Chain A
């Protein structure tokens, strides 16, 4: 059974930093592209960042580029999201998710999700 367990969230002041972790089990982690998706309170889903299985290629939404860094440690089966210069609008539940490709780069979906971790940016 695939399990993704996030940790590291909490309350942080504007301008502060936080690192989220996502521990994976039940899958071949080093072969799995991964992503972070967030959901502001009462709002919809927003794709944040993705990384390929090797960690060599990373991608970001415009809203977080230059402030957030996605990375992974395949020896620990763990995905990370380093969040710097946090703003009130970054307040959200952050989910990690596995990406599955179905025949082409554009054919892909998120088949397994973590339970989510709340990040609150407030003074």
Chain B
């Protein structure tokens, strides 16, 4: 099974900060990597698919990069509505899909 490791598990940041979250796969998954945002009490929301494609309607301050085993989600300038938990998801082994354990972005 492919394991997905996110780091850090949590971080504290201020509005306007540049935030970077990393997701590492235990083996190569090409670019089959998605990113989701989840706020408390809400369903996850798709941000990025196929490692770097921005989902329609998602602000351009969100970007994704990487391929193989190492991936990054970047928020270029953190906004108040961005405080949430972020999950990566590999789909290389579809139909089985694995999520990372999440990264919580908190107010500094």
Residues of chain A at the chain B interface (Cβ within 8 Å): 37, 44-47, 50, 59, 61, 95, 102, 105-111, 113-116
**Which segment of B14-22, B68-76, B99-107 sits at the interface?**
B99-107
CB distance from A116 to the nearest CB of B (A): 6
> Do the beta carbons of B100 and A50 come within 8 Å of each other?
no
With A102-B50, A107-B32 already in contact, the answer to whether A113 and B44 are too (CB < 8 A) is yes
Main secondary structure, interface of B, reads: loop
B7 within 8 A of A: no
Residues of B within 8 A of A113 (CB): 43-45
Main secondary structure, interface of A, reads: strand
B83 within 8 A of A: no
Complex Cα distance, B100 from A47, in Å, reads: 11
**Interface bits B90-108 vs A (CB < 8 Å: 1, else 0):** 0111111111111000000
> Do the beta carbons of A44 and B101 come within 8 Å of each other?
yes
> Do the beta carbons of A47 and B97 come within 8 Å of each other?
yes
> Do the beta carbons of B43 and A114 come within 8 Å of each other?
yes
Chain B interface, number of residues (Cβ within 8 angstroms):
27
Residues of B within 8 A of A110 (CB): 34, 36, 44, 46, 89
Instruction: Choose from B30, B38, B95 the contact partner of A59 (Cβ within 8 Å).
Output: B95
Instruction: Choose from A44, A47, A95, A109 the contact partner of B96 (Cβ within 8 Å).
Output: A47
> Do the beta carbons of B95 and A50 come within 8 Å of each other?
yes
> Do the beta carbons of A116 and B98 come within 8 Å of each other?
no
CB distance from A53 to the nearest CB of B (A): 14
> Do the beta carbons of B94 and A102 come within 8 Å of each other?
no
Minimum CB distance partner of A59 in chain B: B95
Minimum CB distance partner of B30 in chain A: A106
Complex Cα distance, B55 from A105, in Å, reads: 18
